[in-house]
Every structure is written in C-alpha cells, then in structure tokens.
C-alpha cells in the first residue's frame, strides 16, 4: 500500500488520480457522490482517464461490481475511518511492506 501524505490542498487527490490512471482496473473511492463527480471532472481536466469513482457509502454497502476491480485508491482515508468509527480518530498505525 502506497501512502500519500500531504497537507490540505497540496495535491493528494491529484496524485491519486495519476496513480489510478496508470493502474488499469482500479477505482478511486471518494467521500460522497459530489466529491466523486468533482474528482472525475478533475481527471478529465488533467487528461487522465479513470473510471467514475465510487463513494464511501458504495464501499460500505458493497454497492459496486468488485469482480472487475483490481484495486482501490482511497481519497481522504482519515474521513472514511471516522465515518466507520463514528468518533474522532486520534491516531492510527499502518504496517509497512
């Protein structure tokens, strides 16, 4: 798993778009449909073809065809974890590969 760690508005989403564009069969996961539409539009403006991103809700409800997805690029993972936990997350640990 690759980590993209940057501050607010420093290009995290753009970097994920570039990674997803180069990884056939992968999808981005966004906070909600509005954000997914914005990310899709951003990819078009960057000249990068990606599938329409799925939302956190789609992910949680398995509302997507996983048979054709080879990987996921999760935008704003910190928000996803807080949505799952329903409380603020103070810290996380991640296993490096």
Torsion of CA 38, 20, 50, 80, to 10 degrees: -40
| pTM over the 0.75 mark | yes
Q: Domain spans of the chain?
A: 12-85
- pLDDT tens digits, one per residue of 46-88: 999 999 999 999 988 888 777 788 999 999 998 888 888 989 8
Q: Is 35 helix (H, G, I), strand (E, B) or coil?
A: helix
């Amino acid at each position: 798993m690759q980590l993209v760690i940057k501050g607010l508005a420093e290009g995290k989403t753009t970097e994920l778009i570039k990674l997803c564009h180069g990884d056939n069969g992968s999808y981005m996961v966004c906070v909600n449909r509005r954000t997914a539409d914005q990310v899709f539009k951003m990819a078009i403006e960057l000249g990068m073809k990606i599938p329409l991103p799925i939302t956190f809700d789609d992910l949680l409800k398995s509302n997507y065809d996983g048979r054709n997805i080879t990987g996921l690029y999760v935008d704003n993972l910190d928000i996803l974890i807080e949505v799952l936990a329903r409380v603020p997350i103070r810290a996380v640990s991640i296993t490096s590969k």
